[in-house]
Structure 1
C-alpha cells in the first residue's frame, strides 16, 4: 500500500539491496551462478506484489528484450522501504509508483521522476457489493469505508460526496491494512473500499460477486491521473540517460507485446510468479491489456495537463503544502521515438 513519504529520511536501507546501486556496471552472477557477460545490471522495484500492472516487465525479461538492449534486469519486491524511497536514494535504478506519490514526493524535494505511464487512464474507484446499495457517492452516508489511512482517501470521498450535497462525516472509516477486500466485505467489516478494477474487480467477477463500481474518472477529470508509472531519479537522468533509454525501449516492447498477446503475456507472468492465481491472471490480463495504451499515440506517454490537473486538485484539497512544478515531475524523453 502507499507509504508515508515523510518517513523517507528515516529509512535505513537493507544491505540485501546494496548491490542494486546504479553505479555498478560490472557483470554479476545470474540465478544459476554464471556471470552475465557484457550485460549491465539494473534493478526495478515493484510497488506491490506482482500482478498484471507489471506484466510488461516480466515479458521483457522472458522474451529477451532487456538482453537485446544490453541489460540484465532484476525485478525486486519493495519490502519495508517502498519503491519511491529506494529509487530516490539510488538503491534501485527504477521503480513502480503512482502519480499521487510522486506529486507528494516532489513537493518534499524528493528527486524522483516519472518516465512512463503503465496505464493511460485511472482504472480505480470505490467498489461495494451490490447488496450494500451504494450506487452513487451520496450512498456513502451511513456506510463503513475500509482504507489504508492516507489523507487523500477522505479528500477524494469528500470531493465526490460534495457533488451530491452529501456529508463525509457520516462515513465511518476503518483502516484495513493489508486485509483482503473480499474477506472484509463478506464479514461485514466494511461496505466499500477503493480498488483497482483490473485486479480486484476482475476477481469479483470470477467469484460471481456483483459489484457497484464508482470510477473516479466518472466524477472528475482531475482524478484521471497516471497510476501506476515507472520512475527513476534525477541523478540517474543526469548521469546515465542511455541506460534509461535502453531500459524503456525494452519495457515498451514488453507492454506492447502484452497489448497484442494478452494470453501469452499472462502465461509468462504465471510462469515467473507461480504462486499467483492463474485464472485471475488470465482474466485480469484480458481486461487490462487494452487499457495500457488506450487512446494514447503510444504506450507510456504522459501529458502535462494530467499532472497539473491532479496536482491542482491535491493543492486545493489541502494535500500539498505548495504547488507542483509539473514539468519536472515527469518526462517522455526516454520513450522510443
Structure 2
C-alpha cells in the first residue's frame, strides 16, 4: 500500500481506538463503583462533616495512685458517661506498678497525668522533679492516727512509751511527731516501727498501739468490719496543716504542650464528680464494673468510703478541683520546718489553676 493509502486510514483507526478505550473505561467504572444518587451522596457528605472520626480525639493518659476504688469514681464516670468524649478526649486509665513511680513517669513524659498527694508534689519539687498540681481532688487529709477505741490512746501525747506502726514514709513520721509535740508530749518517747504495708495486721494483732498511714476510708473501715472498734485522730487538730490528700498532677512540659487538653480533662471530671454526687449508687456500680481482678472491691466498704469522701471532695459553691495559694503556702512552710524540703521550693511553682468555673 502506498503512503497515500496509509494516511487515508489513520483517522478511521484513531476513532475506533478512542471508542474502544471509552467503552472499557465505562465498563470498568460501572463494574467497580456502586451507583449512588445525589441525595445519598449529600447524606454521606453531611455525616462525615458532623461526625468526626474517633481517632481525631486528643489522647491523654492518667495513672491512678492505687488500684481502682471509690475515690476514683469520678474518673470512671467521666469515661463511662462520655464526658471525656464530649471534650474531644480519648483517655487511657492506668494503674501504677509502684505507687512511687507515677510522678517520675509524668515528669519523663511517659504519662500525661497522675493522681498524687499535695505534700508529695512539694517533696518532688525539692528533688528537682518538675511536676505541678492542676486540681485538688480530696481537699482534706484522709490519713489519720488510728487506734482501737477501747485502747489506752485517746490523744497523741498518750503515745509516750507506746508503739506506733507506720508505712515507711518520712512524711508520716513527721506527721505523728508534730501531733505528739502539739499535744504536749515528747515524740522521742514513742517507739516508731516501720511495718510497711502491714498496717492493719499490726494494729489488729496488738503489735502496734496506733498506726500512722492508714486511711479513714479504707484501713479504718476494714478494721471495723473485722470487729475492731476504731478511733481516728485527725492530724489537722494537732499542728499538721490541712492539706489536699489527693491532687491531679502534670509535668511542667506537659502543661505547656497540652494546656488546652488538660483543661478539657478537668472540665470532664467536674461533670463526672457532679454525677457521682447526685447518683452515688449508680456511680459505684460503674466503678465496680472496672475493679481490678488482682484487687477485688468490697461493695460495702466502697459504699461507706464514698460517703466519707464526698464531703471532703466537694466544696459548696465552688468548682470541683479548686486550689488555694494559702493551702500550698501552709504545707510548704510545714515541710520546710520538718527539713523535708529546702527553702528554695516555692508554693506558687507547685500548682496551676486549670479548672473551669
Residue by residue over 1:289-313, the C-alpha shift from the partner in whole angstroms, topping out at 9 and shown as x without a partner, is 2221135612110100000001101
Candidates 207, 212, 216, aligned match of 1:189: 207
> Which segment drifts farther, 87-96 or 283-292?
283-292
Out of 303, 323, 333, which is 1:302 matched to? 323
1:122-141 equivalences under 5 Å are: 122-141=141-160
> Residues 73-112 of structure 1 correspond to what in structure 2 (within 5 A)?
73-80=91-98, 82-112=101-131
In the alignment, the residues of structure 1 paired with residue 114 and residue 89 of structure 2 have an alpha-carbon distance, to the nearest angstrom, of 16
Within the candidate set 174, 188, 196, 1:155 is matched to: 174
- Contact 1:311–1:323 (CA<8 Å) still a contact in 2? no
SS at match of 1:41: strand
Alpha-carbon offset, residue 110 of structure 1: 1.1
Displacement of 1:285 = 1.2
**Structure 1 position 40, deviation (Å):** 2.3
Change (3 A) 1:336 1:257: same
CA distance in 1, matches of 2:312, 2:278: 12
Whole-Å separation in 2 of the counterparts to 1:323 and 1:125: 29
Match of 1:271? Answer: 289
**Aligned mates of 2:112, 2:244 — CA distance in 1:** 20
What whole-Å deviation, never above 9, does each CA across 1:198-230 have from its counterpart, x for those lacking one? Answer: 22223344344211211011223x520111100
Q: What SS does the aligned partner of 1:95 have?
A: strand
User: Where do 1:285-300 residues align within 5 Å?
Assistant: 285-295=306-316, 297-300=318-321
Q: State the alpha-carbon separation in 2 of the partners of residues 232 and 240 from structure 1.
A: 10
The secondary structure found in structure 2 opposite 1:61 is helix
- SS of equivalent to 2:133: strand
* Mapped partners of 1:312, 1:152: distance in 2: 14
1:120·1:296 contact (CA, 8 Å) conserved in 2?
Answer: no
Counterpart selection for 2:75 from 57, 74, 88: 57
- Within 1, Cα distance between the matches of 2:246 and 2:106? 15
5 Å-filtered alignment, 1:1-337, equals 36-80=54-98, 82-179=101-198, 181-194=199-212, 195-220=214-239, 222-273=240-291, 275-295=296-316, 297-332=318-353, 334-337=354-357
Q: Compute the displacement of 1:54 (Å).
A: 1.3
- Could you report, residue by residue, the CA deviation over 1:71-122 in whole angstroms, capped at 9, with x for unpaired residues? 1111111113621111111100000000111001112221101011111222
- Provide the rounded CA distance (Å) in 2 between the counterparts of 1:135 and 1:47: 31
Unaligned runs of 5+ in 1: 1-34
Gaps of 5+ in 2: 1-52
* Alignment RMSD (CA, Å): 1.8
Paired residue total: 300
What is the TM-score normalised by the length of structure 1? 0.84
| Contact 2:204/2:228 (8 A) holds in 1 | no
Please give the TM-score of this superposition, normalised by the length of structure 2.
Answer: 0.79
* SS of residue in 2 equivalent to 1:74: strand
- Is 1:44–1:94's contact at 8 Å kept on the other side of the alignment? yes
Aligned to 2:4: none
Mapped partners of 2:232, 2:275: distance in 1: 29
- Cα drift, residue 235 of structure 1: 0.8
SS of the residue aligned with 1:240? Answer: helix
**Cα contact 2:113–2:249 (8 A) shared by 1:** yes
Q: Which is greater in Rg? A: 2
